[in-house]
Structure 1
Amino acid sequence: MLHAKKHLIVALAMALSLIAATAFAQTPVAGTIGVTVEEGKILAKGWSIKKDILGMDVYNDANDKVGTVEDIIVTPEKATSYAIVGVGGFLGMGEREVAIPVNQFKMNNKRIVLHGATKDALKNLPEFKYINN
Structure 2
Amino acid sequence: MIKKIEHLGIAVNNIEEATKTYEALLNVPPYKTEIVEREGVKTVFFECGESKIELLGATREDSPVGKYLSKQKEGIHHIAFFVDDLKSEMKRLQSEGFQLLSEEPKAGADGKSIVFLHPKSSHGVLVELCEDRT
TM-score between the two structures when normalised by the length of structure 2:
0.28
Higher RCO (CA-CA < 8 Å; seq separation 6+): 2
Larger Rg: 1
Query: Which structure shows the higher strand fraction?
Result: 2
TM-score between the two structures when normalised by the length of structure 1:
0.28
Query: Which structure shows the higher helix fraction?
Result: 1
